[in-house]
Amino acid sequence: MGLGVSRGLAARALAVAVLALYLMAPTAAALSAQLPGGVGKVRLIVKVNPKLFKMADIAGMGGRVLYRASLAPIVIVEVPSFMADAVGKLRGVLHVSRDAPVRIYGDVVPWGVSYVKAPSVWDAATTGAVDADGDGSRDVEVAVIDTGVDPSHPDLKDNVAWCISVIGGTVSSDCYDGNGHGTHVAGTIAALLDGYGLVGVAPGVEIYAIKALGDDGSGTFSDIIMAIDMAIKGPDGVVDRDGDGLVAGDPDDDAPEVISMSLGGSYAPTELHDIIQQAYSYGIVIVAAAGNEGAQSPAYPAAYPEVIAVGAIDSSEQVPSWSNRNPEVAAPGVDINSTWPGGGYNVISGTSMATPHVSAVVALMQAARMAKGLPVLPPGSFDDTGNDTVRGILHSTAKDLGSPGYDSLYGYGAVQADAAVAAALGGTQEEPPETPQPSPEPQPGAPSIVGLVENPGFDSSLEPWSFYPGSYIDKAEWYSSLAGREGVAAVYGTVPAWSFSVSDSAFLAQQVTVPADASEVNITVEYYAYSDSSRATIYVVAGFYDTEAGSWIWYTTEKATPGAWATLSATVPSDALDAMRGRTVLYVVGVYAQTFTIWSSNTIALLLDSADAVASTG
């Protein structure tokens, strides 16, 4: 009997020891990337008082200490992004800095990219990377019809979205550029801004590379016609898939926003004009090289009225003798450095090199509008000078060189990306409703209140809210009545037994457009937290997320007390509001939870009776 008691005590002691081992383990911060671009974790550089700071405090908020410097009181930590602001309030923390990227000075900005003032557009508006419908994919493409491309070039590989050949009337995936011309053109449009090599005018746009010219640089108009037809349809091979009448600028369609052709001839068949007119009718902007013969008029297809003919200038703003006269606009085309097959770079000249500068500026214009929730601009005509078409803006914002106004050397002038994008954002092209509804005018000095959210009270469903599940909190449902409230959204899930330390999150989100004249934005979330375990800590999260940049603009958190309805209210700080005015962003509401399970599971839920966001204007 004594032996049996000893064995029982030993078994219990072993169980206690095993349990203690797990209880001492650091918290696992498994906050998965729920939102487009990823929410994940944030790395912080923390100055501490070594006598007071406890690494366990970081673990307790779902983070971990990555490194503790031995020569200075500095700690490198990684915590869930929601907890970043809370680190500064921990005992022994003296100062917190967010980690920031550094890189080698490797991205060369070619003189042409600098001349058209593209870098200022990247900072102020867009690189061309825009996800208008929030599906995680980019929505602005330039179709380059040329000698193909080197799709594995380090400065192009992430931007070549589609690569085919139509040589000899046969569609194939054999699109490799054995000449170099097409790769050079693609690089001027979209070489990556990645700290390597050089950068293009619109480093965030996608390229459709369609090889219609052979490795000797020659081809046939029949293959060009085929290439344009393929470009209009895009990778899915369907024009206007959703049947809404929109093609260019529609995230649901694969058509490019721009077709760029650095090619031409003195004669073209009627059928080439027919297919170009078709592309033009779908709202696709068509750009082509004026030609290098020194002729008095552009070559075809640049000579067609639907096409923007591009002439060349050098770094001294002079027109070379070989650039065909009477272009529509001019752009850098002499001694242009760009990508070359095999991972290299090459400097060459021609109106072929000027053309992609213009194609990329057009892509930036359309991307900037889509990022603001505006429709793309129609192509327009040669005579346009207003801000309601692409060509009108290119004409009115070009740098006027040579004789005042249009002239035979420079056309309307040299394209300027910064002015063109600014003008594109100034003209909304929104048509007024057919029957305008009168609204009461605000009293002088009184702000107007604008609701930003559709179905903020979850009145009849979860629409149009999108759900971003976590690893465990992976369900979202609508209830007509729950926990004493009507019209409730429930986000919930169960952490299984023996999961030990777990951090998880889940969100509801929808796109909202913040008025350009918003003076204040306030959010109000009515919520009810639930957990069937006392080990769970639940936070309510609400804020705004930039899908284009892949990062939070601003968010707030509130530790929830399970079992009772509560309200989270907050005003967006002025710096965050500045970043949102006039933009379409993602409004996000959700739950972040930490728990610990051994013998039993833990069900966690967040109920939402409302999740509203309103803007004050005026």
Least confident of 113-127, 216-230, 441-455, 474-488: 441-455
Same fold? 111-372, 448-617? no
The answer to whether 588 and 505 have CB atoms below 8 angstroms apart is: no
Using the predicted structure, report yes or no on whether residue 7 has a pLDDT greater than 50.
no
User: Which listed residue (146, 155, 250, 254) is catalytic?
Assistant: 146
Domain 448-617: CATH class, spelled out = mainly beta
Alpha-carbon torsion (327, 331, 332, 336), positive or negative:
negative
> pLDDT tens, 235-279?
999 998 888 889 998 998 999 999 999 999 888 889 999 999 999
pLDDT per position as a tens digit, 85-97: 889 989 999 999 9
Average predicted confidence (pLDDT) for the chain: 86
- Residue 543 tokens, joined: 């804020």
- Closest to 248 measured CA to CA, from 286, 220, 211: 286
Q: pTM value?
A: 0.56
Set 352, 466, 501, 531: catalytic member? 352
Are 601 and 496 within 8 A, CB to CB?
Answer: yes
The pLDDT score that the predictor gives to residue 106 is 52
- CA 274-275-279 angle, 5° bins: 120
Residue 483 vs residue 331, higher pLDDT: 331
pLDDT grade for 132, boundaries at 50, 70 and 90: confident
More confident residue, 566 or 433: 566
181 is known as an active-site residue: yes
pLDDT at residue 114 in the model: 95
Structural domain spans, the chain? 24-98, 111-372, 448-617
Residue 123 pLDDT more than 80? no
List 604's β-bridge partners, or say none: 493, 531
> At the topology level of CATH, where does 24-98 sit?
Alpha-Beta Plaits (3.30.70)
Q: How high is the pLDDT of residue 500?
A: 86
Q: State the catalytic residue, choosing from 131, 153, 181, 499.
A: 181
Contact partners, residue 208, CB within 8 Å, separation at least 6:
141, 142, 143, 144, 161, 162, 163, 231, 234, 235, 256
* Structure confidence by residue, pLDDT tens digits, 521-580: 999 999 999 998 888 999 999 999 888 887 889 999 999 999 899 999 999 999 999 999
CATH superfamily of 111-372: Peptidase S8/S53 domain (3.40.50.200)
Distance of CA 527 to the CA centre of its chain: 31
Residue 174 has pLDDT above 60, yes or no: yes
Active site annotation includes 352: yes
Find out whether 294 and 321 touch, Cβ atoms under 8 Å.
yes
